[in-house]
Chain A
Amino acid sequence: MTEERPDLVPGTLDMLVLKALSGGPLHGYAIASRIQVLSEDVLRVEEGSLYPALHRMARRGWIDASWGRSASNRRAKFYELTRDGKRRLRERAAAWERISDAVARVMSAEFTRGARGA
């Protein structure tokens, strides 16, 4: 029996892509693979969603694109962070940290059985 993979939290794809690129230029296939590996195979990026997101971020100036050669010597399009992209990643990471901490605090709360609210 295989464990079902959860969907990506809405709005997090851009942040995950920017984070994957923070280690250096990658092509689309490598970005998807890196997110999958870093999440220990929990998160899998829909390839059909990845490319429209990459093109949208390129148009917004967060990433730059250029053609190059992959490790297997395939012609591939590589993306890298721009200065705007790095700033965007910091902003999104900070926001995500606040939200995930808040969610974690709520989810880790312990309640006394039978107690009623004030």
Chain B
Amino acid sequence: MRLLERLGIYARAPDGRSVREIEDDIRDEIASHIAMRTDALVAEGVAEDVARQRAHEAFGDAERVYAACRETDLGERLMLQRINFALMIVALVAIGVFAWRAEATTASTGEAFGRLEGQLESLAGTVRDSTSATSDELAQLAGTVRESGSSTVVEDRIAEIAIRLEELRAAGAGPRQAEVVSLQQQIDALTSDKLRGVIGEGAGQGSAGVRGSALGVLGAVTRPKSDQVFVFGYVEEPGGVDWDKDLTLLMALSECGGTQQFADLTKVRIIRDKKKPIVVDVKEIIESGEGDLELKKGDRIVVPEAFF
């Protein structure tokens, strides 16, 4: 009880009046007291103005009395106001820190993808200069990437691949010029359009998208035979398909287990030699039954993701 009293909390229920009403009440009471003292002095024969002055002097510091009474009457309310104020400050600080952290996280996510993009470009540059990467070694590296699950690990693996390609180039192993050119084109495409699209989707999906694209690219260049076509992107089983002169686009997609749910069939690209990619509307071919293209040895087929 003593502690509660010290805190300004008394046993009675809170006053139902407003703060203003309580303050006015205290001032009225003090004024009433001074007026009654003045009346008494006037009744004793003291002049009214003198009486009023003596009444004020006898009362003492009216503001101090008012403040003491106000503190008593508004004890809990003043304390609650102080607690509310403190809580508001804490909440504002918490919101500030949260906003700062969110900003920092967004910036850091952007930086991470920026770094990843830079590494891929670096990889493309390395491949561009390389004439010696063998398919078996690339396949091994691609397998390593497949085992990874997070964007950070993918980043590390890409860095390793770049180093490994440098080593292969330095070692002067047997030339696989066609595959290197293919890898170069595909990584160029990845670093320009695809990666930016994936980054635009957001951090969580972005990591998986980048990983999937990297695997698609690597999957397409890991076939040892050159008399194949290569299918990658949003098909069930990306990779090489044995070529013969009757092989068509639909047949190649079929060989890869068909397309995935979110594949964009209206913009399937065929990369042939070093020419500009041919964009084919596979959906139209399926619906009309006409226009299926015959493929040539070494064609690369890219099935993109449909963006909603």
Q: Which residues of A contact B (CB under 8 A)?
A: 27-29, 46-48, 51-52, 55-56, 59-61, 70, 72, 74-77
Q: Is the Cβ of A48 less than 8 Å from the Cβ of B59?
A: yes
* Chain B residue at minimal CB-CB distance from A30: B36
Q: Which residue of A52, A61, A72 contacts B36 across the interface (Cβ within 8 Å)?
A: A72
Closest residue to A48 on the B side, CB-wise? B60
The reply to whether B29 and A77 form a contact with Cβ atoms under 8 Å apart is yes
- The residue that A74 contacts in the complex, of B10, B39, B58, B65, with Cβ under 8 A, is B39
B53 CB-CB contact with A under 8 Å: no
Given A48-B59, A48-B60, A74:B69 Cβ within 8 A = no
B interface residues, tally (CB under 8 Å) = 26
- Knowing A59-B10, A59-B75 are in contact, say whether A51-B32 is a contact too (CB < 8 A): no
In the assembled complex, the Cα of A100 lies from the Cα of B130 at a distance in Å of 110
> How distant is the Cα of A51 from the Cα of B29 in the complex, in angstroms?
9
23 A-B interface contacts by CB (under 8 A): A27-B33, A27-B36, A28-B33, A29-B33, A29-B36, A46-B60, A47-B59, A47-B65, A48-B64, A51-B29, A52-B65, A52-B68, A55-B68, A56-B72, A59-B73, A59-B75, A60-B10, A60-B11, A61-B10, A61-B12, A72-B36, A77-B25, A77-B32
Nearest residue (CB) in A for B37 is A29
How distant is the Cα of A76 from the Cα of B28 in the complex, in angstroms? 8
* Chain B neighbourhood of A29, CB < 8 A: 32-33, 36-37
Grouping DSSP codes into helix (H, G, I), strand (E, B) and loop, the B interface class, with mixed when no group exceeds half, is: helix
**Which of A47, A55, A74 is the one whose CB lies under 8 Å from B32?**
A74
Enumerate chain A residues within 8 angstroms of B28, measured Cβ to Cβ. 75, 77
Q: Is the CB of B60 within 8 A of A28?
A: no
Q: For A61, what are the chain B residues with a Cβ–Cβ distance below 8 Å?
A: 10-12
Nearest CB of chain B from residue A93's CB, rounded to whole Å: 21
Question: Using Cβ atoms and an 8 Å threshold, which residues of chain B touch A51?
Answer: 26, 29-30, 33, 65, 68-69
Contact check: which of B29, B39, B69 meets A72 at CB < 8 Å? B39
- B250 CB within 8 Å of chain A: no
Not counting A47-B58, A52-B68, A74-B36, a sample of 20 additional A-B residue pairs whose C-beta atoms are within 8 angstroms of each other reads A27-B33, A28-B29, A29-B32, A46-B60, A48-B59, A48-B61, A51-B26, A51-B33, A52-B65, A52-B69, A55-B73, A59-B12, A59-B73, A60-B11, A74-B35, A74-B39, A76-B36, A77-B28, A77-B29, A77-B32
